[in-house]
């Protein structure tokens, strides 16, 4: 018996794992409806397999939640569930270095459940959530509690960032001093609060160096360019790894480029940076149209077309390491009052694909799907120290990496409707926009955790 999913054939070799309630043999069956929970063996046949170092037609065999084999052509199924991809793209699940999950403290904006569902729907398998919760996430016990509650949902892996100072008050260091070899936190950040006290900032960098964890700097104090220069200077003095969050100006990109050249060495580059999909795709004109002090407000603000072009060129030129969402859900009333940020998990891939990689993109500097995969998966995984093969390795499609994967239909054309978001934050600057390319399935540790069922148009392939 073969089942049809997205018009493709799915062959349930282990029929007991399929419980197609109400399936009449004709209706298209949602894999989620079919309740597949992490089959022991899964064969993903007939996919275009893309990660940062490969792009070819082949198959992947998953065993016990790990990638066991990657082959050219078709894999022979010997037991297990077989999914025929019909040539769709199979990529590593995306890794987000920067999101706000609002728990604890603001369930009206987001919860771990709604955020996890949104992340899975966006193709994400691993997310770092920022520490500006209520209370602030400044102890390892708090970070562990958030991580364990989220990971238990089984949709994504969450790594809460630890704040640099207690209560984000800028007075005394948090438990970053005790976080060496932590399994719980892989990134330190004071989020939107900068560190006005230089001595404390240096002490935080020194603690991060001892812990072997990167500090993500948001650089808002006295303007992005000045704050970026200051953070880079102090990190170099402490010889610590630094990651610049949501770089948004041409000048800040130049500063990062310069710092990378100065600090590159055999130990690997200790300077990395991210940009957001909204800074790559939108400008201050979009912010004005949405309401610069309400629905178009974000930190850092949407910039000039010249800045936006500089970011796109830096992506193509390799100066930017990662794309991160800065997913920042708010209530409608909060946005009306000027709360900064957008919900971004569910549109990130499509916005980046449409802007940077889709055929017919308006940009001069387009990139390959492999490069896009690197920016969204392998590079952020490396920044978190999760990029090498092994039980925790992710971001690549290779043996001994985790089977955190997503399936994309690059030809799907769809219109963003925030009302349909799984996130509780329904505010998106892309509302009503047509995008090209969509995540249609996400697998976490070899189990299907999301499948797109909404109707969508597909352009014929040529
Ligand atoms: Zn943020």
pLDDT band at residue 34 using 50, 70 and 90 as cut-offs: very low
Asked if 78 and 110 sit in the same domain, the reply is no
Asked if 357 and 307 sit in the same domain, the reply is yes
Domain total for the chain? 2
- Which long-range CB contacts under 8 A does 340-343 form with residues at least 24 apart? 340/297, 340/298, 340/299, 341/100, 341/297, 341/298, 341/299, 342/278, 342/298, 342/425, 342/427, 342/428, 342/429, 343/118, 343/418, 343/421, 343/423, 343/425, 343/426, 343/427, 343/428
The last residue of one of the domains, among 383, 400, 418, is 383
pLDDT of the residue at 28: 37
List pLDDT tens digits, range 109-137. 999 999 999 999 999 999 999 999 999 99
How many angstroms does the Cα of residue 354 sit away from the middle of ligand 1?
A: 23
List pLDDT tens digits, range 269-316. 689 999 999 999 999 999 999 999 999 999 999 999 999 999 999 999
In a domain, 347, yes or no: yes
pLDDT of the residue at 29: 37
How many angstroms does the Cα of residue 327 sit away from the middle of ligand 1?
A: 7
pLDDT higher at 221 or 454: 221
Helical packing angle, 112-121 and 140-153, nearest 10°: 60
Q: What is the spatial distance between Cα 7 and Cα 412, in angstroms, rounded to a whole number?
A: 14
How many angstroms does the Cα of residue 246 sit away from the middle of ligand 1?
A: 8
Residue 370: domain span: 92-383
Range 24-44 average pLDDT: 53
pLDDT of the residue at 26: 36
- Note whether 335 and 295 are within 8 A (CB): yes
Asked if 77 and 124 sit in the same domain, the reply is no
List pLDDT tens digits, range 42-75. 899 999 999 999 999 999 999 999 999 999 988 8
Range 443-462 average pLDDT: 70
Nearest partner of 298 among 327, 274, 321, judged by Cα: 327
Asked if 205 and 178 sit in the same domain, the reply is yes
How many angstroms does the Cα of residue 416 sit away from the middle of ligand 1?
A: 22
pLDDT of the residue at 24: 36
How many angstroms does the Cα of residue 313 sit away from the middle of ligand 1?
A: 23
pLDDT band at residue 339 using 50, 70 and 90 as cut-offs: very high
pLDDT of the residue at 245: 96
Phi, then psi, of 204 in degrees rounded to 5: -65, -40
**What are the structure tokens assigned to 232, written together?**
């880079």
Per annotation, catalytic residue among 51, 138, 157, 326: 326
The last residue of one of the domains, among 383, 402, 419, is 383
List pLDDT tens digits, range 362-409. 777 789 999 999 999 999 999 999 999 999 999 999 999 999 999 999
How many angstroms does the Cα of residue 210 sit away from the middle of ligand 1?
A: 25
Look at the chain and count its residues. 462
Q: What is the spatial distance between Cα 421 and Cα 443, in angstroms, rounded to a whole number?
A: 19
How many angstroms does the Cα of residue 268 sit away from the middle of ligand 1?
A: 26
How many angstroms does the Cα of residue 218 sit away from the middle of ligand 1?
A: 8
In a domain, 327, yes or no: yes
How many angstroms does the Cα of residue 137 sit away from the middle of ligand 1?
A: 14
Q: What's 189's domain CATH number? A: 3.20.20.140
Which residues are found with C-beta within 5 Å of the ion, ligand 1? 326
Asked if 122 and 57 sit in the same domain, the reply is no
In a domain, 389, yes or no: no
pLDDT of the residue at 269: 60
pLDDT of the residue at 78: 67
- Which long-range CB contacts under 8 A does 251-259 form with residues at least 24 apart? 251/225, 252/219, 252/224, 252/225, 252/228, 253/310, 253/311, 253/314, 253/319, 253/320, 255/225, 255/228, 255/229, 256/228, 256/232, 256/319, 256/320, 257/314, 257/319, 259/232
Asked if 152 and 170 sit in the same domain, the reply is yes
Q: What is the spatial distance between Cα 127 and Cα 381, in angstroms, rounded to a whole number?
A: 10
pLDDT of 87 higher than 70: yes
pLDDT higher at 34 or 137: 137
**What are the structure tokens assigned to 89, written together?**
């793209």
In a domain, 262, yes or no: yes
How many angstroms does the Cα of residue 269 sit away from the middle of ligand 1?
A: 23
190, 234, 277 from 347: Cα distances, Å = 26, 35, 9
pLDDT of the residue at 98: 98
Of 4-8, 34-38, 157-161, 264-268, where does the model show the most confidence? 157-161
- Encode 334-354: b = buried (16+ Cβ within 10 Å), e = exposed: bbeeebbbbbbbbbbbbbbbb
Asked if 237 and 355 sit in the same domain, the reply is yes
DSSP percent split of the chain into helix, strand, coil, nearest 5: 30, 25, 45
In a domain, 292, yes or no: yes
Q: What is the spatial distance between Cα 312 and Cα 283, in angstroms, rounded to a whole number?
A: 12
Q: What is the spatial distance between Cα 344 and Cα 436, in angstroms, rounded to a whole number?
A: 16
pLDDT of the residue at 19: 30
pLDDT of 462 higher than 70: no
**What are the structure tokens assigned to 130, written together?**
């920022």
pLDDT band at residue 263 using 50, 70 and 90 as cut-offs: confident
Asked if 331 and 376 sit in the same domain, the reply is yes
Q: What is the spatial distance between Cα 216 and Cα 271, in angstroms, rounded to a whole number?
A: 10
Does an H or E element contain 127, and which? strand 124-129
Range 420-427 average pLDDT: 96
Q: Identify the burial level of 73 via C-beta atoms within 10 angstroms of its C-beta, where 0-12 means exposed, 13-18 middle and 19 or more buried.
A: exposed
CA 255, 350, 320 angle in degrees (round to 5)?
15
Say how far residue 333 (Cα) sits from the centre of its chain: 27
Q: Over the chain, what is the mean pLDDT?
A: 88
Does an H or E element contain 217, and which? strand 214-217
Q: What's 86's domain CATH number? A: 2.30.40.10
Asked if 200 and 349 sit in the same domain, the reply is yes
Phi, then psi, of 236 in degrees rounded to 5: -65, -40
pLDDT of 420 higher than 80: yes
- In 12-65 the beta strands, taken as DSSP E runs, fall at 41-51, 54-63
CB half-sphere exposure, 180, CA atoms < 13 A: 7
In a domain, 417, yes or no: no
pLDDT band at residue 23 using 50, 70 and 90 as cut-offs: very low
pLDDT band at residue 4 using 50, 70 and 90 as cut-offs: very low
Asked if 173 and 46 sit in the same domain, the reply is no
Asked if 319 and 443 sit in the same domain, the reply is no
The last residue of one of the domains, among 361, 383, 405, is 383
DSSP assignment string, 388-421 = SSSTT--SS-STTSB--EEEEEEEEEEE--GGG-
In a domain, 454, yes or no: yes
Q: Is 84 a catalytic residue?
A: no
pLDDT of the residue at 452: 84
pLDDT of the residue at 16: 27
How many angstroms does the Cα of residue 234 sit away from the middle of ligand 1?
A: 21
How many angstroms does the Cα of residue 184 sit away from the middle of ligand 1?
A: 19
Q: What is the spatial distance between Cα 310 and Cα 293, in angstroms, rounded to a whole number?
A: 25
Asked if 83 and 184 sit in the same domain, the reply is no
In a domain, 403, yes or no: no
Helical packing angle, 198-211 and 224-238, nearest 10°: 50
Does an H or E element contain 66, and which? strand 66-72
Q: What percent of the chain has pLDDT over 70?
A: 87
Say how far residue 343 (Cα) sits from the centre of its chain: 12
């Amino acid at each position: 018996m073969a089942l049809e999913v997205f018009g493709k054939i799915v062959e349930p070799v282990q029929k007991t794992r399929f419980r197609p309630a109400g399936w009449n043999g004709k209706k298209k069956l949602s894999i989620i409806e079919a309740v597949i929970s992490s089959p022991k063996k899964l064969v993903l046949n007939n996919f275009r397999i893309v990660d940062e170092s490969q792009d070819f037609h082949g198959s992947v065999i998953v065993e016990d939640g790990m990638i066991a084999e990657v082959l050219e052509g078709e894999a022979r199924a010997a037991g297990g569930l077989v999914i025929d991809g019909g040539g769709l793209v199979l990529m590593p699940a995306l890794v987000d270095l920067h999101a706000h999950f609002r728990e604890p403290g603001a369930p009206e904006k987001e919860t771990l459940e709604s955020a996890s569902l949104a992340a899975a729907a966006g193709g994400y398998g691993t997310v770092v959530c920022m520490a500006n919760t209520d209370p602030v996430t400044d102890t390892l016990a708090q970070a562990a509690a958030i991580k364990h509650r989220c990971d238990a949902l089984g949709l994504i892996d969450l790594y809460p960032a630890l704040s640099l100072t207690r209560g984000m008050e800028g007075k005394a260091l948090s438990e970053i001093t005790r976080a060496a070899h932590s399994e719980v936190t892989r990134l330190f950040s004071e989020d939107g609060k900068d560190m006005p006290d230089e001595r404390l900032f240096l002490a935080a960098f020194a603690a991060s160096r001892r812990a072997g964890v990167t500090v993500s700097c948001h650089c808002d104090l006295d303007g992005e360019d000045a704050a970026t220069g200051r953070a880079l200077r102090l990190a170099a003095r402490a010889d610590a790894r630094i990651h610049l969050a949501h770089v948004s100006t041409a000048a800040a990109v130049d500063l990062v480029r310069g710092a990378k050249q100065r600090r590159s060495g055999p130990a690997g580059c200790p300077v990395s940076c991210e940009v957001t999909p909204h800074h790559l795709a939108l400008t201050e004109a979009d912010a004005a149209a949405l309401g610069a002090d309400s629905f178009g407000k974000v930190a850092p603000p949407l910039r000039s077309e010249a800045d936006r072009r500089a970011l796109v060129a830096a992506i193509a030129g390799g100066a930017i390491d990662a794309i991160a969402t800065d997913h920042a859900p708010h209530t409608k009333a909060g946005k009306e009052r000027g709360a900064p940020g957008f919900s971004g998990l569910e549109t990130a891939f499509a916005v980046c694909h449409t802007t940077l990689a889709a055929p017919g993109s308006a940009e001069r500097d387009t990139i390959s799907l492999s490069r896009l995969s690197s920016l969204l998966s392998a590079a952020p995984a490396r920044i978190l120290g999760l990029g090498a093969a092994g039980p925790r390795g992710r971001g690549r499609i290779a043996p001994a990496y985790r089977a955190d994967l997503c399936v994309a239909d690059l030809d799907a054309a769809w219109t963003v409707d925030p009302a349909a978001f799984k996130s509780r934050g329904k505010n998106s600057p892309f509302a009503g926009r047509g995008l090209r390319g969509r995540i249609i399935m996400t697998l976490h540790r070899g189990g299907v955790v999301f499948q797109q069922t909404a109707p969508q148009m597909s352009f014929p392939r040529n």
